[in-house]
Structure 1
Amino acid sequence: MKRLVARLLFVPTLLWNMLLGRLLGLRHWWDAVDDHVILGAFPFARDASRLQALGVGAVVNTCEEYAGPQAAYQEAGIEQLRIPTVDFTPPSLADVEQAVQFMDEQIATGKKVYVHCKAGRGRSATVVLCWLVANRQMTPEAAQAHLVSQRPHVNRGLAQREVVKEFAARQSQAQN
């Protein structure tokens, strides 16, 4: 049922995002979270060279509904990890852990990482919030506040998602 609802809402919500971001300029299509991570909406093929110019060498794509501009990524030398997640639902704990590990590996080689879903508000923001918990030793609430300060239209309830709580608990156990 969630998948059906997500598919029915895909075009209207994409058009809404494009109206606010690309046409009216009321929202940024992407925002830097720190020096290594950029959070945003799904990139079109024409965005690959712009991302490359920003130093992006890797992408985490959380969209089930969009495989990304793979040919443009290949041409730009951008590596993609895809963790397909139904829109309006959070990624699984295993997918979050895989994405955080991928981000760490890419950042360690000097690449910036672009993390996206359709709008850069929910699925991708969940991954980035967990990355902040793991790598900046933030609480989920502090990571949420940081995300809102950098990208004001992220979902404001991310820190309360069960997957975030589970991820934070595992991080806490690993540090003890």
Structure 2
Amino acid sequence: MKPPRPPNLPFARSYWVVPGKLLAGFLPGDRDPFVAKAKLESLLNCGISHITNLMEEDESDPLNRRKFTDYTPEWFDLGAIRGEPVTWDRSPIRDLGIPRIADMTATLDLLDEVLAEDRAAYVHCWGGKGRTATVIGCWLARHGETDPLSKLQQLTAHARIHFPVIPETAQQRAFVQNWKVNQ
């Protein structure tokens, strides 16, 4: 039997790492502006005020080679309309790849700063499986999780069809396994 979907998820291809504080998943944009707006509003409705984008700036959809549509103008517009300050950053990692250790440390430091400000963050890449799970796995290890790969499987059990194996590559999984507490 499939585990029930956790409450208050903005979409099926997402998962709470720390409920109400740290959410992870797939690209919250879309070519259809109405779909993109709905995704971003769902994030805001869950209390998200910061997005960390792990995609490269000029990244294209490998299925059709079209550049992904930039959702950030809509993100900032929605925040302004609601009177809610929102932030965004890009910490790019090549698709199916791993970052340099210094880059991962900087990404984790930024997430910890956002969370220390009592704000909620959403971390994403294109599909939410490889780069996102790598960052989240390292974040879990940094904060004392002794088996971050198993924890990732638990966190995504409600949506196994979207997250069959995460992180996506053996190189990414090894990177997470080698990450240390407080690193």
Query: What TM-score do you get using the length of structure 2 for normalisation?
Result: 0.67
Q: Deviations over 1:114-143 (max 9, x none)?
A: 010001000011101111111243333443
**One-letter identity of the residue aligned with 1:124:** T
Structure 1 residue runs of 5 or longer lacking an equivalent are 1-26
Partners in 2 of 1:40 and 1:99 — Cα distance? 16
TM-fit CA distance, 1:69: 1.6
- Residue 84 of structure 1: aligned partner: 92
Mean CA deviation greater in 49-58 or 29-38: 29-38
Inter-CA distance 150–42: structure 2 relative to 1 (3 Å threshold):
same
Query: Is the contact made by 2:149 and 2:176 (CA closer than 8 Å) also made in structure 1?
Result: no
**Does the CA contact (< 8 Å) of 2:149 and 2:166 recur in 1?**
no
The answer to whether 1:48 aligns with 2:40 is: yes
Runs of 4+ in 1 over 6 A off after TM superposition: none
Cα distance, 1:105 vs structure 2:
0.9
- Identify the residue that residue 64 of structure 2 maps to in structure 1: none
RCO higher in structure (CA 8 A, sep ≥6): 2
Match of 1:71 among 67, 70, 73: 73
Aligned to 1:119: 127
- Cα RMSD between the aligned structures? 2.6
| TM-score, normalised with respect to structure 1 | 0.69
For 2:175 and 2:118, how far apart are their aligned partners in 1?
Answer: 28
Tell me how far apart the structure 2 counterparts of residues 114 and 28 of structure 1 sit (CA, whole Å): 14
Partners of 1:94 and 1:100 lie apart in 2 by 10
Query: Partner of 2:175 in structure 1?
Result: 163
5+ residue gaps in structure 2? Answer: 1-10, 30-35, 60-67, 80-84
Task: Give aligned pairs, total.
Answer: 145
Given that 1:42 and 1:68 are in contact with CA atoms closer than 8 Å, whether structure 2 keeps it comes out as no
